Amino acid sequence: MWVERLRNFFARRVDSDRFLGLELTVSLLVAGGGIWLFSALLDAVLDNATMVRLDRATDAWIHAHVTSSGLTFFQHVSQAGSPVSMTILAVAGGGLLWWYRRTPMLVTWSAAFAGSGILAAVVKVAVKRGRPTYGAAYLTHASYSFPSGHSSGSFIGIAMTLFVISTYGILKGAWFGVATVLGAAFVILVGVSRVYLGVHYPSDVIGGYAVSAAWGAICIGVAGIVLHARGRSLSS
């Protein structure tokens, strides 16, 4: 009997026709994975051991191989993924969701963007990790290094945009695949730009991705559960 119950439980967890199936399972896995990765990175940074030495070695190697054209290119990429750009995306997307009266998605969208930014800022102040020594010229304001705000912001911005596109079927099939690949490439380039410009260590970038992945998945998961209990969905 317990075998049958266990089989039914897992079958429900991967059922793509219900939110409390595959979608919730994916949300929980992403949230759990993001929290685990972020915790591991935070512990390594605070421990000031292997990860920190690797960060500094990578930073020094990249700085020794930068070119003027590379700096120019990654400056533009960094600006495209900046908190200002992601704030514009958040406001524009929120405005469209409000215009079309997609209230559940609007609340989830707003919580994802706001929470991601707040979490990154709080962790920066709590950890107080100093910046690399090479990128002072590319810092727009004084702040701590871990996690990268550009990385966390661009991750949540692209991830939530793709989630909205998927939920409402704006792009389907191969077109959605292309959008996903382009979005992922953009997020990766933003992270690389922060390391190339010398304003962040690699672990800062990965930490930014992790905190936003976890928070975004939590927002989507909680919203889906609450709306499911009310007989609604995020697409309503």
User: Could you tell me how many helices (H) and strands (E) the chain has, helices first?
Assistant: 9, 0
Calpha distance 229→202 (Å, rounded): 41
CA quadruple 115, 116, 121, 124: dihedral positive or negative?
positive
Asked if residue 190 lies in contact with residue 81, where contact means CB atoms within 8 angstroms, the answer is: yes
Question: Tens of pLDDT along the chain (236 residues)?
Answer: 544 454 554 444 444 444 455 666 777 788 888 888 878 887 877 777 777 788 888 888 888 888 889 999 999 999 999 999 999 999 999 999 999 999 889 999 999 999 999 999 999 998 888 888 776 666 666 678 889 999 999 999 999 999 999 888 888 889 999 999 999 999 999 999 999 998 889 999 999 999 999 999 988 888 877 766 666 666 66
CA quadruple 217, 218, 220, 221: dihedral positive or negative?
positive
pTM: 0.85
Please state the φ and ψ torsions of residue 170, each to the nearest 5 degrees. Answer: -65, -40
Rg of the chain in Å (alpha carbons): 19
Structure confidence at residue 230 (pLDDT)? 65
